[in-house]
Chain A
Amino acid sequence: MEKIDDLIDFKTGRQKRLIYSDAEIYDQEMEKIFGRSWLFLAHECQLEKPGDFIRTYMGEDEVLVVRQKDNGLKAFLNTCTHRGNRLCKADHGNSKSFVCNYHGWSFSYNGELTGVPLEEAAYQNNLDKSKFGMIEVAQIASYKGLIFATFDEKAPSLEEYLGDMKWYLDVWLDAMPEGTELIGTAMKVELPVNWKLAVENVSGDGYHLGWAHAGAMTVTAESDIAGLSVGNSEVDNESAISVAGMNGHTVLAALDGKSGYAFYNEYQMAWDYLDQNRATAVERLGEIRGEKMWGSQINFTVFPNLQFLPGLNWFRIYHPKGPGKFEMWTWAMVDKRMSDDLKEMILNNVSRTFGPAGMFDNDDGDNLQAATEQSRGWRTRQMDIYTNMAMGNEHSREGMPGVISEGLVCEQNQRYVYRRWLEMMKADSWSDIPFYNNLEEARATEDK
Chain B
Amino acid sequence: MTLKAAKDEVYLDLQRHLFKEARMLSAERYDEWLSEILSDDIYYRMDMPQRRFREDKSAVRAPAKTPIFNDDFASLKVRVGRYKTGFVWAENPMNASRHMVSNVEVFETDEQDQFKVYSVVEFHRSRLNSERKRFTVGREDRWVKSENGYQLLERLMTLDDSVVLDSNMNFFL
Contacts and interface: CB of A to CB of B under 8 A. Distances in A.
Interface stretch (B11-19, B26-34, B75-83, B105-113): B75-83
Among A188, A215, A223, A359, max chain B CB count under 10 A is at A215
10 cross-chain pairs, A with B, having the tightest CB-CB distances, nearest first: A365-B167, A184-B66, A362-B168, A94-B58, A214-B87, A357-B169, A215-B87, A93-B56, A215-B88, A219-B81
Given A90-B51, A190-B165, A219 B63 contact: no
Majority-rule SS of A interface residues? mixed
Nearest to A361: B168
A219 B69 contact: no
B49 to A, nearest CB: 9
A189 B68 contact: no
Contact of A215 (B50, B65, B82, B163): B82
Interface residues of B, number: 44
A352 B103 CA distance: 29
A185 B169 contact: no
Interface of B: 46, 48, 50-53, 56-58, 61-71, 74-75, 78-79, 81-83, 85-90, 128-129, 162-170
A49 B53 CA distance: 17
Given A191-B167, A362-B168, A365-B90, A347 B67 contact: yes
30 contacts: A49-B58, A52-B58, A90-B51, A91-B50, A93-B62, A184-B66, A185-B50, A186-B66, A189-B166, A189-B167, A191-B167, A212-B89, A214-B87, A216-B82, A219-B78, A223-B78, A332-B66, A347-B66, A347-B67, A351-B70, A352-B71, A356-B48, A357-B46, A357-B69, A359-B78, A359-B82, A362-B88, A362-B168, A365-B168, A366-B89
A369 B128 CA distance: 10
Interface residues of A, number: 52
A48 B63 CA distance: 11
B66 A351 contact: yes
Interface string A41-62: 0000010110010000000000
B61 A48 contact: yes
A363 B90 contact: yes
Given A348-B70, A362-B169, 12 more contacts: A89-B51, A90-B56, A91-B50, A92-B50, A184-B64, A185-B65, A187-B48, A190-B165, A215-B88, A327-B163, A356-B68, A369-B128
A183 B64 contact: yes
A345 B128 CA distance: 34
A234 interface: no
Contacts of A222: 81
